[in-house]
Structure 1
C-alpha cells in the first residue's frame, strides 16, 4: 500500500475542495509537519477528541504519532498522540488487511468509522482487529509499550439477532534491559551501564475497551497468533464494500458500546461524519481567527494548519476516567507543560476559553486525587517533569487574566503550594535517579535550603530558572487573593535565579551567565555555548547556557542590569542570531545559538521590546518564522511538541507574544492586512495593517482602540478582556515609534 494513499484517506475529512466559502478546513493540511521530526498526527480527530484514527507505519525508528511517510504499513489504529517526542504512545486497537484495499474513515469524540472497498479480484475479503497492536520503540532506551493481555468476543443481540464484537486490551510501558541513551541537541551518546526504563511517563497498567459493528453479516474467527495476541477476523463472501463502526471507552465494554451507538448510529454515512468533523473544527477552532486578506495562500495555510495541529491534544477524557469518580472535567495526554506553558496555553485560553477553563479545573482535580498536578500526563498517570512544576505558571496565567468560572481558586492555590513546599518521592527513573521525574519539584530540598540548586541534582541550572518562574506564579495568585505573607514569600523566592548567576562565565565580550554550582556552593566551570548532551543527566536541559540566561522573564529589569545595561543587552541578544557563532554545529540553523526549534529560545526574539528595539523583535521573529516554518510535511524546525511550535508561529503571525504568568503581551508585526480574533460573548479584537508587504513589515505607528500607542507592549485588559482594535502602519525601514521607556518587570 502506498503511504500517499494513507494520507489522502485521512485528509479527506479536513480538506474537501468542494467545501463552502467559509470552510476554513480548505487551508488545513493534515499531513504537514509529519516528516523530518515534526511527528504530527495525519489522521482524523475532533478537537481534543479521544479517537485519533490514523495509519501506523514505521521504519525501524520511532513513529511517535504512528506515521512515517516511508514506513511499512501495519494497520490503522484508533488512539494516537500528535507532535510528541520522548517515546511513541498508544497505537491501540488496530485493523489490518491485505494490499489493494481502499480505506476511508472518519471519527466522533469516542468512536471511529472505517469504510473498506476490497479489490474486485479478491477471492476473499476480511478485516483483522488486532487487540495487541501498539506503537513500538526502536531507540534502544527501553521506552517501548507492552501488551499485557485482553480478549475479544462476538456477541449476538438478543432482540435483533445481529452480531457485534467487543473486548479489551491492557497495556503498560515495557521495562527492558536495552541501553539507555542520552538524547542531545540532535545526537545520541551512550551510557556505559544500561539501566532499565519504563516508557516516557512510566505509566502503570491501563485498559482500553472497544465495541465494533460491521454493516454486513460476517463470519467471525478469534485466534491467537505467534505472540501473545487476541485478534478477531471478520470474513465476507462476495462483498466488495464494508463499513465498520468502533467505539472505545476506558471504563467498560458496555460504555464502549454506548459510545458508538450514541455517537455513530448504524445509519450514519461517511459523508455526514465528514461534514460533522469539518463543522467542529470550523466552529470550535478555525473560525476564532479570521481574515479577508486572501492574497497569500501560503500564509493562510500556515495559519489554519497551525491552529489545527495545536488543538489535537490534550485529550478531553471527561467521563472516561477509570481512576476516580469526579464531577470535574478530566483532560489527559498533556505532552508536556514544559513545552506548552510558554505560549501555547495562553493561546488556548483565547481560542477555546470554555475548554481552557475545563483544562485548568482538570489540573486542580488531578492534584486532589493524585497529590500533585502534572507537568506531563498520559494514560491516567503523571510524568514526566523535565524542569519546574510548570502547571503553576499555567494557573497563574489564567488567574491574572481573570479566569474564574467554576475554578476553585482556593484549591488551585493549595495545589501550587504543594509544588512549592512538598518534595515528591523519588520515582527512581533511570534517566535521572537524583530526584523525582514524575511530578512536583524534585530538587526542592536544595531550593529551600540554599536558594539555588547544586549539581547534586540533574538539570540543576534549567530547573532553577523554572523554579523561579513557578514561584513568581505563586506570588501572582497569592497577591490577587490577598494572601500577603505568601505573596511576599514567593516574590522573594522568584528572585532566586539570581543566585545561579555566575559573573565569571564569559563568551566573547559578554560576561555573566547562569551557571551550575557545586555542592559546596562554588561555581562549576562552564562554557556558555556548551551543555554536554543537553539532556536528563546534564546541568541544562534542551538548551545552551546562553539560551537559559535570557529566561528570567518576570525579572527582566534585573537581568538587563546583570548583563551590563541596555546596550550590552541588545548586543547580547543580537549575538543569539548571529550565523556561525555556535561552533558546535549540532543544529542546521546557521549554527546560531538561538534554536527556532526548541522552547528555551521561544521568547528570546521578543526581548528586544524591553530595551527600546522593537524593530529587532520584528526582524528576528519574522526571519526565523519565515525561514523555518512552512505548511509542508517537513515544515517545522523540530518536533511539534504537541502544538507548541505551531503556537509560537501563530503568535508571530498575529503580531503579539504572551509573557506567561503576566498580563503582558509584547508587540510584534502582524502578517495580514486584517485579522479578527473572536473572543466569545460578541467581543472581538480587530488587528489591521496599512502599508505592509513581504518587504515592508517594520512598525511605523500603532493605535490601540483608537488611542495613539507608544509602548512596545499591551495588557490583557487593553485588547483581550473586552476586545478592541490594534491599527498598525508598517514600512520598510525601522522607526522608533515605541518611545515610552517603561516596561513590565514585576519581580524587580
Structure 2
C-alpha cells in the first residue's frame, strides 16, 4: 500500500552501493514501466471509449405514463421502427401500451408524439387455430412483460406464441415461435391495419385502399408484396402510400388472400386463392404453416414495391439470423450516437440517464433520403419532424453538436421542402407539412445553424428566402377544426395582425403565444440577414423582434408581481389572470403554457424583460416563484412545468441576473426529481426527444440559447465527459471535467475554459465547440460568486 511504502518508521535495510549493471537494469525497468503505464492508460481510455454503451440504454424509458416513447427496434433516424401495436381504447401514439391487447406488429411508428397516433402500418399478427374470418377479433393478451433492448424486441403472447423482432434502416425481421401442437399456425397480413385514434377532432387515420400479391419463391416459401394508402393522423395529411415486400422462407407455407369490409360490427369477408387482390376494401392474406418456428423478412419503400424488395434483399438477405441484425443495430447505435459522449464515471443511474436520453433523441426525425415520392432532388430528405416547436429550444442545438453531418442534411432538407412546397415545415410527416402549433420555428433552427457557422452545402440565400416567406406571406387557411382562424399547416397565419399592428388580436388563436414566438422568429431573420449583409432587412426584423413588448401589460398582477404578457386588441389590453391560460389549446390565447411561463420567453431580449419585470432583484424573486411549491394553487405543484417546452429555459435565466448558482440548483432539482430511467420516468410526452435533450443539457452542464451562439453555464454531473464534435477522424473534441463534485457538492467554485480562468456565466460556440476545447470545473457545496465578467448578451435590447 502507498502509505506503507512511505512509512518512515519501517525498518531500514543495510546500506549498499548500486553497481553500474544494476543502475542500467533499474533505469531500463523504470522506462519499461513508464511505457507500460502509458500504454495501459491509452488502452484504458480506448476500452472506455469503445466499450458497449448500449447496455446502459433502457429502451422502455418513457414508454408509460404519457411519455409515448417507442420501445421497439430501430436504427438511428431509421425509416423502420418495428414494434407492437396494442389496443386499450385510448390512443397508442407509438403503438405501445403497458396494458391492453396486441393487434399486430407493424413496421412504421413514431416516438414520443402526441396529438393523435401516426402509422402502425405494414403489419403482421400471429394467430393460432383456424382463421375463418381474418378481420375478426384476433387480438392476443400479454403472457409476461415484453423484453426490449437496443436492436431486439420480444413479446410473449397469451396464446403461447413468442414474437422476436429485429430491423435495419429499411427492412425488418419477425421470428415467430408457435406452440408445438397440431393446432393451426398462422400469420395475418392486414393491409388496412393502422393505429386508431379515439380523441375525435377528425385526427384518426383512415385506410384508403391497397393491394397485395403472393408468389412462390424459387427456393421455397412465399413472397408477398403490395401497397397500402392512408391519410390523416396528427398532421392531418392527405393520401400517402407505403409499399411493402415480405417473405416467408418456410417451405411449408401456404396462403389465402382475403377481401372484405367491416360495417357497424358486421364483418363480410371473402377468401380467395387469387395471387393478387386490389381494392379499396380491407384486404390482406393469411399465411399458414406446419413448422413451429417461422421467420418473416419485410422491406418497405415509399417509391415502389420493387424498391421495397430491393431494400429487403439488400438489407436482410435470406438466412440472416436475428442475432446478426441485433448485433449490427447495436453497433450502429454505438458508433453513430452513443460513442459521441464518453465518460469514465461508473454511476449506473447517471449512465442510464445519459445513454437512454441520447437514444431517444435520435429515433426521429426519419432519414427518408431517396424515398421521397413527391419530387426528384439531389438534396437529402428528412421526414417525421415532430415538431420544431418542441425541438428548437434544446434538441436541434444538440443534434448539431453530436451529428454535424446529419444536421447539415436536415437543414438542407428543410430548405428543399420550401423549394418544392412553398414553406418550410414546423412539423411534417408522411410527406406533408402539418401541425404548426405557434411560430414558424424552422426560422429559429436555420438562424441557430447560421450563427454557429454551419455552411457546407447549404444554400443560405435560399435558406434566407425560405425564412422571408414565413415572415411576409400569409399561408392559405387549411380549415383545421382545432383553430379555423388561420392555417395550422405551415407558415405564420396571424401575419395580418402582426404586420398591421405589431401585436396579435384574439381573432387569431394562440395570439399571445404567437406574438412571443413570432418575435423570436423575426430575431432569427435578423441574425441571418445581418450575416448576409442585408442591412435594411436586418434592421427591419430586429425592430419586429421587439414586438413581444406590445403584449406586456405593466398593470397585470399576480402573486405580488406586476407586469405580464396578456391578450390585446385595438382597444388595448384585455383582462387576464396570469395563472390561467383557459384551455391552453389551439383556439386559446396561450398554447400549452400559462401566462407566467410565456412571460419569461423573450430570450433574445432578456435585458428588456428584466427591466419590465422590475429589475434584477425582482426578476430573481419572480423566477423563485416559478419553482415555489403551491404557487400554482395546488398543494405541491409549481408554475414551472418540467414536461413543458415553454418552461425549458426558465431555470437558466438566473444566469442573466448574477445568480448562476440558482440556475444550477433549480435545473438539477427538476432533473433529479422529475426524470428517471424508468418506463414512467418522463414528466410528460417525450415530444420526439425534447424532454430527453433537456435532461442531457442539464447533465452536460450547459444550456443553448437558440438563435445565438451562446451557451449558459450550469454544472456537469460527471467527473469527466468527452464529446466528439465531428463525423470524421474524431480529433475534434470537447473535454469537460469536474473536481470536488458529488450529490451534495455541485455549485461551481471556479471554471477554466481552454486552460484559462473564466469569469463569465456563459461561453460561445467559438469558445468550445467550433474547434473543440476544454471546460474544467471545480465544484463544491457552497454557493460562490465565481463570475465577475459581463452577463450573457441580450442582442435585441436597446
Q: With structure 1 as the length reference, what TM-score do the two structures score?
A: 0.92
Decide which moves more: 654-663 or 263-272. Answer: 263-272
Q: How does 1:522-541 map to 2 (within 5 A)?
A: 522-541=572-591
Residue 94 (1) aligns with residue 123 (2): yes
Contact 2:758 2:787 in 1 (8 A): yes
Q: How does 1:327-406 map to 2 (within 5 A)?
A: 327-406=378-457
TM superposition shift of 1:533 = 1.1
Decide which moves more: 665-674 or 259-268. Answer: 259-268
1:349-377 CA deviation, whole Å, 9 max, x = no partner? 11111111111000000000110000010
Whole-Å separation in 2 of the counterparts to 1:235 and 1:60: 30
TM superposition shift of 1:162 = 5.8
Whole-Å separation in 1 of the counterparts to 2:612 and 2:228: 56
Which of residues 223, 227, 233 is equivalent to 2:286? 233
Unaligned runs of 5+ in 1: 1-18, 174-198
TM superposition shift of 1:267 = 2.6
Residue 679 (1) aligns with residue 725 (2): yes
Whole-Å separation in 2 of the counterparts to 1:381 and 1:78: 20
Which of residues 683, 690, 699 is equivalent to 1:637? 683
Whole-Å separation in 1 of the counterparts to 2:318 and 2:791: 63
Structure with greater Cα Rg: 2
TM superposition shift of 1:138 = 1.2
Whole-Å separation in 1 of the counterparts to 2:209 and 2:658: 62
The DSSP-based 3-state class of the residue aligned with 1:136 is coil
TM superposition shift of 1:21 = 7.2
Contact 1:653 1:671 in 2 (8 A): yes
In structure 1, the residue matched to 2:652 is 606
Residue 219 (1) aligns with residue 254 (2): yes
The DSSP-based 3-state class of the residue aligned with 1:224 is strand
Residue 292 (1) aligns with residue 344 (2): yes
TM superposition shift of 1:160 = 5.5
Contact 1:167 1:211 in 2 (8 A): yes
Whole-Å separation in 2 of the counterparts to 1:312 and 1:457: 34
1:25-58 CA deviation, whole Å, 9 max, x = no partner? 0000111100100000010000111100000112
TM superposition shift of 1:139 = 1.7
Q: How does 1:33-182 map to 2 (within 5 A)?
A: 33-98=62-127, 99-156=159-216, 163-173=222-232
Q: How does 1:177-326 map to 2 (within 5 A)?
A: 199-217=233-251, 218-227=253-262, 228-237=281-290, 239-294=291-346, 296-326=347-377
Which of residues 711, 714, 728 is equivalent to 2:763? 714
In structure 1, the residue matched to 2:559 is 508
Unaligned runs of 5+ in 2: 1-47, 128-158, 263-280
In structure 1, the residue matched to 2:785 is 736
The DSSP-based 3-state class of the residue aligned with 1:672 is coil
In structure 1, the residue matched to 2:55 is 26
Whole-Å separation in 2 of the counterparts to 1:478 and 1:272: 50
1:84-126 CA deviation, whole Å, 9 max, x = no partner? 0000000001111232111111111110001111111242222
Residue 542 (1) aligns with residue 592 (2): yes
TM superposition shift of 1:151 = 1.2
The DSSP-based 3-state class of the residue aligned with 1:257 is helix
**Once superposed, which parts of structure 1, at least 4 consecutive aligned residues long, lie more than 6 Å away?**
none
Contact 1:454 1:521 in 2 (8 A): no
Whole-Å separation in 1 of the counterparts to 2:656 and 2:49: 44
In structure 2, the residue matched to 1:648 is 694
- C-alpha distance 707-260 of structure 1, shift in aligned 2 (>3 A): same
Contact 2:235 2:428 in 1 (8 A): yes
TM superposition shift of 1:220 = 1.2
TM superposition shift of 1:576 = 0.3
In structure 2, the residue matched to 1:10 is none
TM superposition shift of 1:742 = 3.1
The DSSP-based 3-state class of the residue aligned with 2:480 is coil
- C-alpha distance 539-122 of structure 1, shift in aligned 2 (>3 A): farther
Residue 457 (1) aligns with residue 491 (2): no
TM superposition shift of 1:232 = 1.2
In structure 1, the residue matched to 2:668 is 622
How many aligned residue pairs are there? Answer: 697
- C-alpha distance 521-404 of structure 1, shift in aligned 2 (>3 A): farther
Whole-Å separation in 2 of the counterparts to 1:732 and 1:214: 62
Whole-Å separation in 1 of the counterparts to 2:467 and 2:50: 46
The DSSP-based 3-state class of the residue aligned with 1:135 is coil
The DSSP-based 3-state class of the residue aligned with 2:288 is strand
Q: How does 1:577-596 map to 2 (within 5 A)?
A: 577-583=627-633, 585=634, 590-596=636-642
Q: With structure 2 as the length reference, what TM-score do the two structures score?
A: 0.86
Contact 1:214 1:242 in 2 (8 A): yes
Contact 2:712 2:792 in 1 (8 A): no
The DSSP-based 3-state class of the residue aligned with 2:414 is helix
RMSD of Structure 2 on Structure 1 (CA):
1.3
The DSSP-based 3-state class of the residue aligned with 1:441 is coil
TM superposition shift of 1:248 = 0.6
Decide which moves more: 506-515 or 443-452. Answer: 506-515
